[in-house]
Amino acid sequence: MLLILNEEQEMLQDAARGFLAEKAPVAAFRKIRDSKPADGFCRELWLEMAQMGWAGIIVEEEHGGSGFGYVGAGVLAEQMGRNLTASPFFSTSVLGATAIQQFGTEKQKEENLAAISSGESLFALAVDEGPRHNPGRITFSAEPSGNGFTLSGAKTFVADGHVADRLIIAARTSGEEGDTHGITLFLVDADAPEIVRERTPMVDSRNAANIVVDGLEVTGDAILGELDGGYGALEGILSAGRAVLSAEMSGSAQQVFGVTTDYLKEREQFGQKIGSFQGLQHRAAHLATEIEMMKSAVLKSLKDLDADFDNAGMTCSLAKAKTGQVAQLATKEAIQMHGGIGVTDEYDVGLYFKRVHVAQQMFGDAGFHSDRWARNSGF
Amino acid sequence: MSDTEKFRTEVRAWLDKNCPEEMRDGDITAENQCWGGRLWEFQSEAQKIWFERALSKGYTVPIWPKEYGGAGLSAEEAKILDEERQAINARKPLNNFGISMLGPALLAYGTDEQKAQHLTGIARGEIRWCQGYSEPGAGSDLAALKTKCEDKGDHWLINGQKIWTSNADISDWIFCLVRTDFDAPKHQGITFILFDMATAGISVKPIVLISGHSPFCETFLDNVKVPKSYGDNNASVVGEINRGWDVAKNLLVHERGMLGTMSPLRGTTGPENLGKFAAEKIGLDATGRLDDPALRQNIVQAELDNWAYNLTVERMTDEANAGNGLGAKSSMLKYAASELTKRGTELRMEIEGTTAAIIGEDGIEYGSLANNWLYNRAYSILGGTTEVQFNIISKRVLGLPSQ
């Protein structure tokens, strides 16, 4: 396995770079933030992305996708991170598509994958129940009733939860809080009357929602993966999400670092370019090195997902940890090195700082993943 | 089966058949490498056998051309060979500065005659090289070097002093930077020259470090007469007179790349097994976590950074092989590797507590943890300090302005 992009992936990268620069630059995101559309993104743009094969980027061709795998998804996410592109790509094309393609029945695949690929159906994954990511502590309840289940509980921080057509809910069918056994994934229609969805505006101006479910009756057909054995599937979906979020954060960090070094070359203080000051040069050099480490970690996690999905969990975790740290450092340094202009709303670096903060919290921050790594290594 | 798969199968079979069991201990510390040279004595029969078999296959320097003793492998094939070697934990058959530093510089700047003589000697493990770069007044500011080299018609006359000359006391030849023009701007009067350490006028004195041991020496050059040519048309000077800085810089890129990938990062003392080691020494609490939360966090961070670092070595190597040379990015690897190397042994020392600080009646034992921990302080100084690497990265990678 070579740790570089192949020709096809480089072409995808070039296409994404060109398309996003034209259709979804940071200015477009700023417009969405300020005009506050109900969707939180531009539907027309999303359908255009779908037409280019982006919505079905990881979906196999037989199900209407473009079959580019996770490296392909990461290539797109990185460019979206550079442009702060708001779209349901992460919730639908990464989380939703992974859930169905990896763990769905043939019927579920037929019903959902083409709809994901065409951009017509939006998905959201509902995992967390508190302010900090903790997929082991699921209490959302799924009680057996009749020949199905009754779902009740609350979920927080569901990306695109308020606009999704379908929800994937991680619920407890047996066991106690903290047990990994006893968790089951349910695929349900989001517009059922028993489901109340409340959009929670976040500091990054991207879509998140609280979801409350009160007595939703579903049949066994709604189960995605195995009854009581859904934790493994959840881990797989989260791994894919972590790797692709890392790619997005990597894009944001690289972009903001590029903007910062450009600024260091232009801005004059004390009669000199500030980039000639060793105090700033050495911090920039350190950050540049960290960014290279981050890029390697991200690419490895994506390649591992493509090569051996079931065993990619730890590299995805490590990528998320490293990227969370480096992307935060990059955006913090960007603000500091820009000085006063860096903390103005008019200037873009603050937008990256906010997005990176939220993205690094989603599905586990560096502390969460460090702990996971240590536990997995037996200490 | 593709050509690369076929090559992998062949390499695997060859390694399996030819690499002795004893050479598969994964131990790649400085002490048990095969360094070669006139003074070299094999540490074991297995080491000798392994070296000879690899040599006959061109695997001591796999990517060098066959005419110079290499195997002429492509970068991709060399990577496969390396992967398969590491998969069975085998040591490298030969490892020295000739391979990692002088060889690449000669391939770029040497004449055919220089390549024929010197590369072949390196590939065969016959000549061990040391590096005469630093001087007492020219460490981080390397171009301030003052060792004087005068043109005496039929020979060069060299006077001066080198310092931090690794393994000078057991090396056969030296690649050396000397000043041939004191009036030119400091980067422009330097010449890159090769000579035999057996030449009259050279004396060597080992330097004792805080670690109690070290490979470093002071090298005194007192009226050393270096022939202009060793044999027919085989110049001792590489590249042009007064233009040695170009050769030196090229070599430094390789040196930093090499320092960025060398042991002890990947050996048994490396950070990748710190957690396991700590769990054995310290024990776990009721929740299965290391019974020292602060230490646990530091260890995880080191392991995580080590993991990202190893991947970066791999990625940058793949990128370089695909045509984007490593260039000044080798300074990133050098910086990261030296920091990680230090952290690895610092954490080992913490894990072992006062036990590790016990040194015994005869002082600090060579190869001991305390020895490595102390010696590792030098990693962010030798080969260019971290601060020098930062200057290189900021100017040559990021293009930041000079004052």
The per-residue DSSP string of A132-143 comes to S--TT----EEE
* Average pLDDT rounded to a whole number, residues A158-179: 96
> How does the average pLDDT of chain A come out, rounded?
97
B272 — contact with chain A (CB < 8 Å)? no
Residue A4: which of B304, B315, B336 has the nearest Cβ? B315
Residues of A with CB below 8 A from B389's CB? Answer: 285
Tell me: cis bond preceding B264? Omega within 30 of 0 counts: yes
Residues of B with CB below 8 A from A294's CB? Answer: 308
pLDDT, tens digit, 9 for 90 and up, residues A250-275? 999 999 999 999 999 999 999 999 99
**Percentage of chain A modeled with pLDDT above 70:** 100
pLDDT, tens digit, 9 for 90 and up, residues A133-145? 999 899 999 999 9
pLDDT of residue B265: 45
pLDDT of residue B83: 86
Q: What is the complex's ipTM, to 2 decimals?
A: 0.95
CB contact under 8 A, B393 and A261: no
For chain A, list residues whose CB is within 8 angstroms of any CB belonging to chain B. 2-4, 261, 264-265, 272-273, 275-278, 280-282, 284-286, 288-289, 292-297, 299-300, 318, 321-322, 370-371, 373-375, 377-379
Residues of B with CB below 8 A from A293's CB? Answer: 305, 308-309, 311-312, 336
- Residues facing A125 on adjacent strands: A168
Q: Which of B77, B84, B135, B255 is catalytic?
A: B255
Q: SS3 for A272?
A: strand
Residue B194 distance to chain A (closest CA, Å): 34
For residue A51 the two structure tokens come to 């037409």
* Average pLDDT rounded to a whole number, residues A280-299: 98
Integer Cα distance of A323 and A313 in angstroms: 15
Strand B202-206 relative to strand B173-179, pairing: unpaired
Specify whether the CB–CB gap between A158 and A211 falls below 8 A: yes
B312 — contact with chain A (CB < 8 Å)? yes
Q: What is the pLDDT along chain B (403 residues), one digit of tens a residue?
A: 788 899 999 999 999 999 999 999 876 667 778 999 999 999 999 999 999 999 999 999 999 999 999 999 998 898 899 889 988 989 999 988 999 899 999 999 999 999 999 999 999 999 999 999 999 999 888 999 999 999 999 999 999 999 999 999 999 999 999 999 999 999 999 999 999 999 999 999 999 999 998 889 999 999 999 999 998 889 999 999 999 999 998 888 878 777 766 543 454 456 778 999 999 999 999 999 999 999 999 999 999 999 999 999 889 988 988 887 788 898 999 999 999 989 999 999 999 999 999 998 999 988 889 998 999 999 999 888 999 999 999 999 999 999 7
Helix (H) or strand (E) holding B55: helix B45-57
* Average pLDDT rounded to a whole number, residues A295-299: 98
pLDDT of residue A285: 98
Give per-residue burial for B278-310: e unless 16+ CB within 10 Å, then b: bbeebeeeeeeebebeebbebbbbbbbbbbbbb
Integer-rounded Cα radius of gyration of chain A: 21
Specify whether the CB–CB gap between B223 and B157 falls below 8 A: yes
Integer-rounded Cα radius of gyration of chain B: 22
pLDDT of residue B27: 61
pTM of the prediction? 0.91
pLDDT of residue A379: 96
Angle between helix B330-352 and helix B274-282 axes, rounded to 10 deg? 10
pLDDT of residue B75: 84
pLDDT of residue A128: 97
Integer Cα distance of B296 and B291 in angstroms: 8
B2 or A291, greater pLDDT = A291
Helix (H) or strand (E) holding A242: helix A230-266
* Average pLDDT rounded to a whole number, residues A95-113: 97
Specify whether the CB–CB gap between A150 and A142 falls below 8 A: yes
Residue A289: which of B300, B332, B395 has the nearest Cβ? B332
